[in-house]
Amino acid sequence: MLVRIAGVLNAGEVAAVRSRLDQGRWGDGRVTAGFRSAQVKSNLQLPQSDPAAQEAADLVLRALERNAVFISAALPHHVFPPLFNRYEPGMGFGNHIDNAVRHIPGTPHRLRTDVSATLFLSQPQDYEGGELMVEDSYGAHAVKLDAGDMVLYPATSLHRVQPVTRGTREAAFFWVQSMVRDDGARTVLFDLDNAIRKLTATDADADSLLTLTGCYHNLIRRWAQV
């Protein structure tokens, strides 16, 4: 499933992240690309070791921890420390699928990429092109969101970033190893959680709500790998 989450960062937080990024030392984005991806990738990235990037990543991680929609949709087990990219005119990233396993920098740990995330940091009117195109069995979906909004999509998806023809597109991107590996199972859980939340806001029958909530937790018990 493809999930758009509005307002992961508010305007002040976007400005705080971007001011850190302005102090960073941007380099060639191909450093984190696999062999084939490197041939179609043209963008700039901040090195993970850059102190400005680490501060910005911490701001994003704190926002994710308090975002109920992110937690419900991704059911995170491990979150890769966010990375940052910048596309200037002429830059883009052709069709690719993200690497399945990532080494978490500075740790002995590896993460299986179940969910891919892009958090938009530039306002859409500030650049031309730069849509994230995510393919699924229903075709290609163009995603271009307001600054502070985020999209989650299955890391198994073929995707690309359309060339930027004007302005600058900055974004944070990262991956999640989910407690629930299967996208179809996560979708059922997300739908169920959303329905329970909505019913809770009404005067729905309390016993039925309790049963549904029990079903939610018992499905997680069946499917979660922790």
CA-to-CA distance for 139 and 121, rounded, in angstroms? 26
Minimum CB–partner distance for residue 7 and Ni ion (Å) = 24
Q: How many residues bind Ni ion (CB under 5 A)?
A: 1
| Number of Cβ within a 10 Å radius of residue 16 | 15
Rank residues 104 and 212 by Cβ distance to Ni ion and give the closer one. Answer: 104
Q: Which of residues 102-141 bind Ni ion (CB under 5 A)?
A: none
* Contact by Cβ (8 Å): 82, 53: no
Closest residue to bound Ni ion by CB: 98
Minimum CB–partner distance for residue 98 and Ni ion (Å) = 4
Q: Which part of the chain contacts Ni ion (CB under 5 A), choosing from 9-17, 92-100, 123-131, 136-144?
A: 92-100
* Contact by Cβ (8 Å): 178, 205: no
Rank residues 99 and 213 by Cβ distance to Ni ion and give the closer one. Answer: 99
Q: Which part of the chain contacts Ni ion (CB under 5 A), choosing from 47-55, 95-103, 150-158, 192-200?
A: 95-103
Q: Which part of the chain contacts Ni ion (CB under 5 A), choosing from 93-101, 136-144, 179-187, 191-199?
A: 93-101
Strands (E), the chain: 3-5, 27-28, 41-42, 44-45, 76-79, 83-87, 92-96, 101-103, 110-112, 115-120, 127-129, 132-136, 139-143, 150-154, 159-161, 164-167, 169-178
Minimum CB–partner distance for residue 10 and Ni ion (Å) = 26
* Contact by Cβ (8 Å): 15, 162: no
Rank residues 43 and 122 by Cβ distance to Ni ion and give the closer one. Answer: 43
Q: Which part of the chain contacts Ni ion (CB under 5 A), choosing from 15-23, 82-90, 97-105, 208-216?
A: 97-105
Minimum CB–partner distance for residue 152 and Ni ion (Å) = 13
Minimum CB–partner distance for residue 87 and Ni ion (Å) = 13
**98 contacts Ni ion (rule: CB under 5 A):** yes
Q: Which part of the chain contacts Ni ion (CB under 5 A), choosing from 24-32, 46-54, 90-98, 190-198?
A: 90-98
Q: How far is CA 163 from CA 30, 41, 75, 77, 149, in A?
A: 16, 10, 32, 33, 20
Rank residues 13 and 102 by Cβ distance to Ni ion and give the closer one. Answer: 102
| Number of Cβ within a 10 Å radius of residue 216 | 16
Tokens of 220: 């997680």
Rank residues 7 and 47 by Cβ distance to Ni ion and give the closer one. Answer: 47
Sign of CA dihedral 121, 37, 132, 136: negative
Residue type (1 letter), 61: L
Q: By the criterion CB under 5 A, which residues form the site for Ni ion?
A: 98
